[in-house]
Chain A
Amino acid sequence: MKNLLKLLSPFAPDQSGAVSVIYELGGLIVICDAGGCAGNVCGFDEPRWFTKKSAIFSAGLRDMDAILGRDDKLIAKLKTASSQVKCDFTALIGTPVPAVIATDFRALKNMAQKSIGLPCLTVEANGTAYYDEGEESAYLELFKDFAVETRETDDSLAGVIGVTPLEFSRIDANTEIESTIKQYGFSKVVCYGMGSTLEDVKNSSAAKINYVVSPSAITAAEYLNKKFGTPYEIISPYIPDSVTDENEYKDCKKILVIHQQISANGVRNIIEKISSAQVDVASWFMMKKELMRSGDFKLTDEEQLIKRVSKAGYDCVIADNNITRALRGYKCKKVDYIHFAVSGRMEK
C-alpha cells in the first residue's frame, strides 16, 4: 500500500527543515503546534539544541484554540514573549494543526508585524512534506524578508546556501564547507543559517557568488540571482571519506546512491573516477530534473524502492542504514551513508 511504512520510519518533516535554516539567526521562533511537533524538532531533528540556545517555542495550541481559530490569542502570547526575550524578528512555523484548520499565515504575519513591530517570517509547513521543502520555503522567505538592500559586491565574499545539520549530518558542517570554499580564493565564506547571523543575510547581496549545496537552496539562489544578479553554482563540497573508499567498489558493476540529490551526485562523481561501475542516484527528497541523469529516479514509497532496486539489479547500494533496512531481503553490498534527515544519526 502506498504510504504504508513497514520497514522504514518517517523522515524529518518540513517544519524541522524550516527551523534548521533560521535556528541560529536570533529570531523568536514559534512552532504553531500543540507541543509534540516542537518536541520532535528540538529533541530529535535539531542537534544544535543541546549545545546552542535558540528561542524556540511551542504555541501550545489546545483544541478550543484550533476549533475557534484564536489567532488573536497566539499573537498576544507572541507579543508577551517578545517583551521577555531579546529577538531581532519573529517566526511562525506551520504544522498539521494550522494546516487542518486552514490558518491564514499571511494574515498572521501582518498581525504579528503590526502588533510587535518586528519583521515576522512565516513558513507554511504542514508536517506531511519532507524537511527539504521546509528548508526551501524558509530560505526563500528569509532572503525575501531580510535581503532587501543592494550592497556593493565584495569580491572576497562567497555565500553558501543549503548547509544544515539535516543535510550534512554534522554539527560543524559549516566549518568543513567554509574551509573547502576558501580554497576557491575567497577570504570570507558565509553559510547562511549555520555559523552566521541575520546581518550576514542582510548583506547577502554583496556576495560575489552563491554556492548551492542542497536542492532545497536552488530556489533561493535563483531569487538572489534575479534580485541582485548574484550568480550561483551548484557544488558538492563535502562527501564523507567513508563512502568513497575505492576498495569498496572495485568489484561493483551497478551502484545506487541514495541521499539528497546534490550530495549523491557528488558521490557519483567521485566513484566514477575510481571505478568503472554504472552509478545511479535516487532520493526521497527533491530531484531536480536538470541535475538528473538517465537512470536516476525519485523514491516514492517503500515498495517502489524494493522493486526498483531488485529490477535494476544493483550490486551495491550506498544509503543510510535506515533505508537499507528496507532492502534486508535483497542481497547486495550496502554502504552506510549517514543522512541525519533520515535516521537522526550524526557522523560524529
Chain B
Amino acid sequence: MMSKAFYMAARNLSDSGLDNVPDEFVSSKHLIYSSPATLAFNSPGAQGFGVKRAGLAVPGSVMLLVAPGCCGRNTTMLSEMGGYSDRFFYLLLDDTDIVTGRHLTKIPEAVKEVCEACEKKPSAVMICITCVDALLGTDMERVCRKSTDYADVPVVPCYMYALTREGRLPPMAAVRRSVYSLLTPTKRKSNAVNILGHFAPLFDNCEIYPLLKSAGIADIREISRCESYEEYLKMSQANFNLVVNQESRYAADFFEKELGIPSIEITRMYRIDKISNQYRLLGQTIGEELDDKKYYNETAEIINDFKNKFGKLSFSIGEISNADPFELALSLVEYGFDVDEIFGTVGAVNFNYIRKLAELSPNTKIYSNTSPTMLYYNDEDCNPDIVIGKDAMYYHQSKPAVAWSSESQPFGYAGVKALFGEMSSALKNNRTAGEI
C-alpha cells in the first residue's frame, strides 16, 4: 500500500524519455483523483472558462445546453455571475432521449422558444451538447442548420465532449473554432489583426499592443473586447491572426480555409530572453522591427530588484495558473531561484522544458495532480517560500501565495512584470494561500 504521493525528480523523468513516463503521469492509464487541485481538469467549466462560458464569447449570443441535467448542474454557479443569468437555457434529456436520440427533433422548436423568451433577439444561439451526443454520433451541424431555418437565427454547435479530452480535437479547441464560425469573408484590411487564444483579453498594459501599433497596425481585435455582434463580425477583416494559445490552432485553420486569413503563432513565456527573441522573429515575419528594449530593460530591472529584496527563494509551482508550470519553473531556475516541486501534466510540448530543468535543477520533484496517490500528498515534505497556482495553493495553505489565474491574460513582459509584482506583494504582506 502506497502512503506517499508519487513523484519523480526532474532528472529521472527526463531520463525516462517522453515515451516511457510512468503510468502516474498518463491520465488515460489510471483513475483520475478528484481533489480541489484537479477541479479545472475534471470540470473546466467550474472555474474560469469552460466550454459553456466560452461558447458565449460571441456578443449577444445565448446558449441552449442540450444534455442530461447533470451536465448543466455547475452552470447554476455560472448563472449567478454577472451577465450570464439570462443567457443560459436548458433542454434536459430524459432516459429515453439518451438512448434513442429523440431529443434532436425537439431542438428547432426549443431554439424558437428560447429566442421568444429573450427580451432582445439573440445574435446567435449556441447549442452545447455533451458526451451523450458524442456517443450517439449526433450530426449537430445538420440539426443546427435546421434550427437556423426554423427559428431564423444563427445556430452554432459547441461540443462539450469530455470523452475526447485527449483526442485530436479536445473540447476547448473545438469551442475556440465554434465561436468564430459565424464570421464570413469580407474585404480585408492590411492594418487589422486578430489575437486568438483566450476568452478574456490580454492585460491592458501588455506591450504587444503598442508594439503592433508601432508596426502600423491600427485595429487589434480580440473576441472578448468586441462589445457588439457587429464589432465581432469585423474580425473577418484581419490581415493576419496572432495565435497566443495552441488550443486556437483549429480556429486558426478555420480562418485560413474559410476566410483566407493566415496566422502566426506566438507563445506565452516567462523567460525574458525568449520573449525578446520571439518579438524579434515576429517583427521579421511581419516585415517591421519591433523595438522591445524598453520593456525588456524594465522587466529585467524588476526581476533584479525582486532578487535583491527577497534573495534565493524556493518555489512550489502548480498548473492551475496562467502559465505552463514547467516553463515557469525553468524561468525561475534560470533567474537564480530554487524550484522544489511542480504539479503538472507531462506532454510532448513541455517535455523539452523538463529536459532543461533536469540539467539545471535535477532534484525538482514533479507530481501529477490526477494520480490517485495524491490523496496522500503531505505538505510537510516540501517547505517552499512561496507557491504559484491554485493547485499548489491547495497543497500549501500556510505559505505566501499567488494564484496567478486571473481571467485577463498575462503575456510577454507585462505578464512577467505582473507576476513579480504579485509575488512581491504576497511576500511583503505574508498573504497566504489559505487567506486567498
Q: How many angstroms between the C-alpha atoms of A101 and B93 in the bound complex?
A: 16
Please indicate the chain B residues that have their CB under 8 angstroms from the CB of A16 in the complex.
Answer: 70, 73
Taking a contact as CB atoms under 8 Å apart, the answer to whether A63 and B31 are in contact is: no
Of A79-87, A150-158, A176-184, A233-241, the one touching chain B: A79-87
Taking a contact as CB atoms under 8 Å apart, the answer to whether B2 and A4 are in contact is: no
Please indicate the chain A residues that have their CB under 8 angstroms from the CB of B113 in the complex.
Answer: 1, 4, 6
Taking a contact as CB atoms under 8 Å apart, the answer to whether B76 and A37 are in contact is: no
Please indicate the chain B residues that have their CB under 8 angstroms from the CB of A14 in the complex.
Answer: 70
Taking a contact as CB atoms under 8 Å apart, the answer to whether B68 and A39 are in contact is: no
Taking a contact as CB atoms under 8 Å apart, the answer to whether A35 and B165 are in contact is: yes
Given A1-B109, A1-B110, A43 and B46 contact (CB-CB distance below 8 Å): yes
Please indicate the chain A residues that have their CB under 8 angstroms from the CB of B130 in the complex.
Answer: 36, 96
Chain B positions 91-123 with a Cβ under 8 Å from a chain A Cβ: 91-95, 97-99, 106, 109-110, 113-114, 117
The contact string, 1 if C-beta is below 8 Å from chain B, for chain A 295-324, is 000000000000000000000000000100
Q: How many angstroms between the C-alpha atoms of A322 and B76 in the bound complex?
A: 9
Across the interface, name the chain B residue whose C-beta is closest to A15: B70
Q: Which of A8, A36, A38, A78 has the most CB of B within 10 A?
A: A36
Contact of A95 among B32, B70, B93, B161 (CB under 8 A): B70
Given A39-B74, A49-B36, A99 and B165 contact (CB-CB distance below 8 Å): no
Taking a contact as CB atoms under 8 Å apart, the answer to whether B89 and A83 are in contact is: no
Taking a contact as CB atoms under 8 Å apart, the answer to whether B31 and A58 are in contact is: yes
Please indicate the chain B residues that have their CB under 8 angstroms from the CB of A5 in the complex.
Answer: 89-92
Taking a contact as CB atoms under 8 Å apart, the answer to whether A35 and B375 are in contact is: no
Taking a contact as CB atoms under 8 Å apart, the answer to whether A36 and B68 are in contact is: no
Taking a contact as CB atoms under 8 Å apart, the answer to whether A84 and B2 are in contact is: yes
Of B131-139, B335-343, B419-427, the one touching chain A: B131-139
Chain A positions 21-42 with a Cβ under 8 Å from a chain B Cβ: 30-31, 33-42
Residue B182 interfacial (CB < 8 Å): no
Q: How many angstroms between the C-alpha atoms of A199 and B71 in the bound complex?
A: 34
Q: How many angstroms between the C-alpha atoms of A50 and B131 in the bound complex?
A: 27
Within the complex, what minimum Cβ distance (angstroms) separates B146 from chain A? Answer: 16
Please indicate the chain A residues that have their CB under 8 angstroms from the CB of B76 in the complex.
Answer: 9-10, 44, 322, 343-344
Residue B61 interfacial (CB < 8 Å): no
Q: How many angstroms between the C-alpha atoms of A129 and B160 in the bound complex?
A: 20
Please indicate the chain B residues that have their CB under 8 angstroms from the CB of A128 in the complex.
Answer: 68-70, 92-95, 97-98
Across the interface, name the chain B residue whose C-beta is closest to A7: B117
Please indicate the chain B residues that have their CB under 8 angstroms from the CB of A322 in the complex.
Answer: 76
Residue B405 interfacial (CB < 8 Å): no
Please indicate the chain B residues that have their CB under 8 angstroms from the CB of A34 in the complex.
Answer: 131, 161-163, 165
Contact of B69 among A10, A55, A60 (CB under 8 A): A10
Q: Which of B23, B31, B162 has the most CB of A within 10 A?
A: B31
Taking a contact as CB atoms under 8 Å apart, the answer to whether A62 and B92 are in contact is: no
Contact of A39 among B2, B28, B43 (CB under 8 A): B43
Across the interface, name the chain A residue whose C-beta is closest to B23: A80
Q: How many angstroms between the C-alpha atoms of A86 and B109 in the bound complex?
A: 51
Residue A59 interfacial (CB < 8 Å): yes
Taking a contact as CB atoms under 8 Å apart, the answer to whether B32 and A57 are in contact is: yes
Chain B positions 15-44 with a Cβ under 8 Å from a chain A Cβ: 23, 27-36, 39, 41-44
Residue B230 interfacial (CB < 8 Å): no
Q: How many angstroms between the C-alpha atoms of A86 and B74 in the bound complex?
A: 30
Q: How many angstroms between the C-alpha atoms of A13 and B161 in the bound complex?
A: 19
Taking a contact as CB atoms under 8 Å apart, the answer to whether B32 and A35 are in contact is: yes
Across the interface, name the chain A residue whose C-beta is closest to B85: A325
Taking a contact as CB atoms under 8 Å apart, the answer to whether B70 and A58 are in contact is: no
Q: How many angstroms between the C-alpha atoms of A86 and B69 in the bound complex?
A: 33
Residue A127 interfacial (CB < 8 Å): yes
Q: How many angstroms between the C-alpha atoms of A127 and B93 in the bound complex?
A: 9
Within the complex, what minimum Cβ distance (angstroms) separates B240 from chain A? Answer: 34
Across the interface, name the chain B residue whose C-beta is closest to A42: B34
Given A67-B135, A84-B372, A99-B98, A57 and B167 contact (CB-CB distance below 8 Å): no
The contact string, 1 if C-beta is below 8 Å from chain B, for chain A 90-110, is 000001110111000000000
Taking a contact as CB atoms under 8 Å apart, the answer to whether A4 and B43 are in contact is: no
Residue B72 interfacial (CB < 8 Å): yes
Please indicate the chain A residues that have their CB under 8 angstroms from the CB of B71 in the complex.
Answer: 10, 36, 40, 96, 127
Please indicate the chain A residues that have their CB under 8 angstroms from the CB of B99 in the complex.
Answer: 99-100
Please indicate the chain A residues that have their CB under 8 angstroms from the CB of B47 in the complex.
Answer: 43
Taking a contact as CB atoms under 8 Å apart, the answer to whether B135 and A45 are in contact is: no
Q: How many angstroms between the C-alpha atoms of A4 and B44 in the bound complex?
A: 24
Chain B positions 47-76 with a Cβ under 8 Å from a chain A Cβ: 47, 67-76
Chain B positions 127-151 with a Cβ under 8 Å from a chain A Cβ: 130-132, 134-136
Residue A247 interfacial (CB < 8 Å): no
Residue A294 interfacial (CB < 8 Å): no
Contact of A97 among B43, B67, B163 (CB under 8 A): B163
Residue B88 interfacial (CB < 8 Å): yes
Within the complex, what minimum Cβ distance (angstroms) separates B272 from chain A? Answer: 36
Residue B79 interfacial (CB < 8 Å): yes
Taking a contact as CB atoms under 8 Å apart, the answer to whether B90 and A10 are in contact is: yes
Q: How many angstroms between the C-alpha atoms of A35 and B369 in the bound complex?
A: 14
Residue A226 interfacial (CB < 8 Å): no
The contact string, 1 if C-beta is below 8 Å from chain B, for chain A 130-172, is 1000000000000000000000000000000000000000000
Within the complex, what minimum Cβ distance (angstroms) separates A27 from chain B? Answer: 13
Given A4-B113, A5-B90, A66-B135, A58 and B375 contact (CB-CB distance below 8 Å): no
Q: How many angstroms between the C-alpha atoms of A67 and B370 in the bound complex?
A: 24
Within the complex, what minimum Cβ distance (angstroms) separates B45 from chain A? Answer: 8
Taking a contact as CB atoms under 8 Å apart, the answer to whether A3 and B163 are in contact is: no
Taking a contact as CB atoms under 8 Å apart, the answer to whether B90 and A35 are in contact is: no
Q: How many angstroms between the C-alpha atoms of A85 and B34 in the bound complex?
A: 13
Chain A positions 232-275 with a Cβ under 8 Å from a chain B Cβ: none
Residue B313 interfacial (CB < 8 Å): no
Residue A114 interfacial (CB < 8 Å): no
Can you list 26 contacts pairing A with B, beta carbon distance less than 8 Å? Answer: A5-B90, A9-B72, A12-B73, A13-B69, A34-B163, A35-B42, A37-B70, A38-B43, A39-B42, A39-B44, A40-B74, A43-B36, A44-B46, A58-B42, A60-B28, A60-B31, A62-B163, A84-B2, A85-B372, A96-B67, A96-B131, A100-B99, A126-B98, A127-B68, A127-B70, A322-B76
A contact set with B: CB distance below 8 Å: 1, 3-6, 8-16, 30-31, 33-45, 49-50, 53, 55-63, 66-67, 77-78, 80-81, 83-86, 95-97, 99-101, 126-130, 322, 343-344
List 12 extra interface pairs beyond A6-B114, A97-B135, CB under 8 A: A6-B117, A34-B165, A36-B42, A36-B45, A39-B42, A43-B74, A44-B43, A50-B36, A56-B33, A59-B32, A66-B135, A100-B135
B contact set with A: CB distance below 8 Å: 1-3, 23, 27-36, 39, 41-47, 67-77, 79, 88-95, 97-99, 106, 109-110, 113-114, 117, 130-132, 134-136, 160-167, 370, 372-373, 375
10 smallest beta-carbon distances between A and B, as pairs: A39-B43, A39-B42, A127-B70, A34-B162, A13-B70, A10-B69, A57-B31, A127-B68, A58-B32, A5-B90
